[in-house]
Structure 1
């Protein structure tokens, strides 16, 4: 994401229009504390160790809840730690934005996968034309590029739609996101599934080194392509499992497995790709699926000699690998039509998006729903992050400068809405330096106090949340090892204004000041409808999450 330059100092200022409803307290500042999660006090919790009088005061005086910020609750695979991109996307969009793996898993579990028109129409075409269906992708449970469960669901779909013959599988072996020699188990499991469903024969195998290159090593892609499409390879075998065992005996494991063509008893390829055939590519991650896809579908492809051209080929990708490819896409990207920023812009209001370099893209591109557009009356300010080898050398990073700039912009009374990110708890947390992280948290708390004082003096509203956890979990309490990664912990949401202070008793108390005793009562995407409700703006139907305010 290229960083846009800081906005120039604004000279034309507009006064905030007073809201019609006196309960609406403007301006509203949404402050995202990067990497500020909730966990019990411990020797590895930089947040609980640090002195945070401003956050403590806000939590005691104003409604405070905990929300889930990891795993399926933000559209990630189960138990996967949250991250800044997904966090800001959820915060700004007002709905759970499912990433590819959980999106497809959910479709399988709720049955919509088996009603997918892209797949069903292609299966219908195979039956009507008398052609073949080729299902290709990585046969692995690594969960990074593909899922074996998705392949199995496709076999079940073929069975349920009476397509049992002429279904052929071209499997890619992993060995990178799995153990180096896990393919024997995966292929054996696939053969069991084919027997159960009565669908499919393995037609070729290739290591991901060949079939899933992403660095323009077209000589590798060519070997995989020739095996899949034309049934040509140095290695011809009548048994997939035997081919893998022979390769292992040569100390060539899954990732570098040389493309092999599976043959019939007569020694002929089990299947080749011919006119009017259909290909399903079930990898859900794009980067290592693009090259092989282009070799099949681009009319002017010239990276290697493909052989006889294919007429009437239907190619269905599991997800969008690249825009404008001549393919069908089974699961289109989840678009965000009306993020918070657009709703504010549609109201004719002024908004400011401000962060330091490390998180600038997050309060712009990701908060705006993954769109490049800058909305009307949306100003952006970039504060330069310190240029140091490691942020534990400057734990405050630019949080003080950032807070001062926010206060300065609020004083102009131009903006009805401000979204800001304080990056330092997360970025210093990633260094693994606990003492520096404690200093980072304390610096952030001081900055929070500055912003809170300015907002509340204006009779405005402050909403404080986080995109994911990090600084609260920096030591493995069992082993003593340093943790530098994000966590799966919940994060706080504090809603502060004069009206909300009177509602504090409607929310659970924070016993002994320990946020970790709060049960999560929502998810990160609930922040968006909460913010719009506090702004007095309509919550669009596209936002399927709910406000955290009492109904």
Structure 2
């Protein structure tokens, strides 16, 4: 349909009178699947939802995973972002993992402005890759990292350091050992090309905080990834993960930070002037804080000790309003005609709210992709100060 033929006009609802207040409740993570003992929603007591389903207005199921929301395969479980971004659009837009897959498969990722920007450092500096080591497909994927390592090497990177974050949230706890060993086997073949692990830590304890809940998480990342300093030092990432997981109180999500050192005990991968950095997660919310630390000169959330002159790019742009980061390897999806835009064009006022740890979904995802939807951020109400 051409733009000239398109109308924003919404037909009147056949039953609801005009001016009626309507609540749209997004049950993030709620779904229907086979009713067995592993299905927590089936096992739980849910009288309110059971009553709603048994009433006169039964809900309709909407697919929120896989190819229906622009993800690569039906096995991709999806995430909050891909559902909220395109709410009401009635179209499928390639998002997140799918966008990265297409860019890697076509090789266009290496022709883009973001890669050209970091490539300026390849002759003299080190390329640092930071992100979640997982195959969960929610925030990153191991196979994408493997392709990016290979492609970066083939496109001029002479020295690469990988800073891994163990998962245990989007995948089973304990799976980090296998992921690290898989990557180390790859790196062993590439070591003569100057590629190796540099640091690591659990995703919820190192790097991946969100909505400025705990800057200490990013501070621990900065110390290990940038300064090359951590309480634990190992000769390999596999040794680090296995050893640290021996503590019964430790799991993949909260693995303490570690650095890889050489024979003399010196960290192999601190960041220095002239280096390039890529955060390879494709989902945005848990990358914004570290992006601020890497990019902002006037950053004041913690003492960075030193701020190396680097060239930094995200896998995607993580915050469209802040234009953060300013450089990225894959362009974000151009999503249009979402529910928010329809409401505004029809003069319907909206009020959107969420509990604290999801407030960004109504103030960032919806607002960014529905450019004219005005929302009220309630973070200060739920979390005073």
Structure-2-length-normalised TM-score: 0.68
**Counterpart of 2:372 in 1: which secondary structure?**
coil
Where do 5+ consecutive residues of structure 1 fail to align? 1-25, 53-66, 375-551
Residue 89, structure 1, aligned to residue 86, structure 2: yes
Task: Report matched runs for 1:66-465 at 5 Å.
Answer: 71-76=66-71, 78-79=73-74, 80=77, 86=83, 89=86, 91-92=88-89, 95-123=91-119, 125-128=120-123, 130-163=124-157, 165-197=158-190, 200-208=195-203, 209-214=205-210, 215-251=212-248, 252-311=250-309, 313-322=310-319, 323-325=322-324, 327-336=326-335, 351=346, 370-372=370-372
Distance in 1 separating the partners of 2:69 and 2:209: 30
Instruction: Indicate how the Cα distance of structure 1 residues 82 and 317 shifts in structure 2: closer, same or farther if over 3 A, else same.
Output: closer
| Deviation for aligned residue 1:352 | 6.7
| Deviation for aligned residue 1:308 | 2.6
Cα deviation code 1:461-489 (max 9, x no counterpart):
xxxxxxxxxxxxxxxxxxxxxxxxxxxxx
Structure-1-length-normalised TM-score: 0.49
Distance in 2 separating the partners of 1:255 and 1:136: 16
**Counterpart of 1:270 in 2: which secondary structure?**
coil
Distance in 1 separating the partners of 2:368 and 2:292: 31
Task: Report matched runs for 1:39-54 at 5 Å.
Answer: none
Distance in 2 separating the partners of 1:218 and 1:367: 24
Matched residue count: 319
- Give the superposed CA RMSD: 4.3
Residues 133 and 168 of structure 1 are in contact (CA less than 8 Å); yes or no, is this contact kept in structure 2?
Answer: yes
Larger RCO of the pair (alpha carbons < 8 Å, separation 6+): 1
Instruction: Indicate how the Cα distance of structure 1 residues 109 and 47 shifts in structure 2: closer, same or farther if over 3 A, else same.
Output: farther
Instruction: Indicate how the Cα distance of structure 1 residues 174 and 90 shifts in structure 2: closer, same or farther if over 3 A, else same.
Output: closer
Instruction: Indicate how the Cα distance of structure 1 residues 305 and 192 shifts in structure 2: closer, same or farther if over 3 A, else same.
Output: same
Cα deviation code 1:160-179 (max 9, x no counterpart):
2132x311001111122222
Instruction: Indicate how the Cα distance of structure 1 residues 74 and 238 shifts in structure 2: closer, same or farther if over 3 A, else same.
Output: closer
| Deviation for aligned residue 1:258 | 1.4
Q: Whose strand proportion is higher, 1 or 2?
A: 1
Residues 173 and 205 of structure 1 are in contact (CA less than 8 Å); yes or no, is this contact kept in structure 2?
Answer: yes
Q: Whose helix proportion is higher, 1 or 2?
A: 1
Instruction: Indicate how the Cα distance of structure 1 residues 29 and 250 shifts in structure 2: closer, same or farther if over 3 A, else same.
Output: same
Distance in 2 separating the partners of 1:84 and 1:218: 22
**Counterpart of 1:211 in 2: which secondary structure?**
coil
Cα deviation code 1:301-325 (max 9, x no counterpart):
22222123322x1110112223244
Residues 145 and 285 of structure 1 are in contact (CA less than 8 Å); yes or no, is this contact kept in structure 2?
Answer: yes
Cα deviation code 1:57-107 (max 9, x no counterpart):
xxxxxxxxxx98753133245334899984893653x64223312322333
Judge which range, 300-309 or 179-188, deviates more. Answer: 300-309
Distance in 2 separating the partners of 1:370 and 1:120: 31
**Counterpart of 1:244 in 2: which secondary structure?**
helix
Instruction: Indicate how the Cα distance of structure 1 residues 97 and 269 shifts in structure 2: closer, same or farther if over 3 A, else same.
Output: same
**Counterpart of 1:136 in 2: which secondary structure?**
strand
| Deviation for aligned residue 1:27 | 8.4
Larger Rg: 1
Distance in 1 separating the partners of 2:188 and 2:238: 15
| Deviation for aligned residue 1:296 | 2.1
Instruction: Indicate how the Cα distance of structure 1 residues 216 and 51 shifts in structure 2: closer, same or farther if over 3 A, else same.
Output: closer
Where do 5+ consecutive residues of structure 2 fail to align? 1-8, 15-23, 27-31, 33-41, 43-49, 354-360, 375-385
* 1:429 aligned partner: none
Distance in 1 separating the partners of 2:187 and 2:81: 41
| Deviation for aligned residue 1:28 | 4.7
**Counterpart of 2:272 in 1: which secondary structure?**
coil
* 1:532 aligned partner: none
Instruction: Indicate how the Cα distance of structure 1 residues 187 and 70 shifts in structure 2: closer, same or farther if over 3 A, else same.
Output: closer
Distance in 1 separating the partners of 2:283 and 2:84: 20
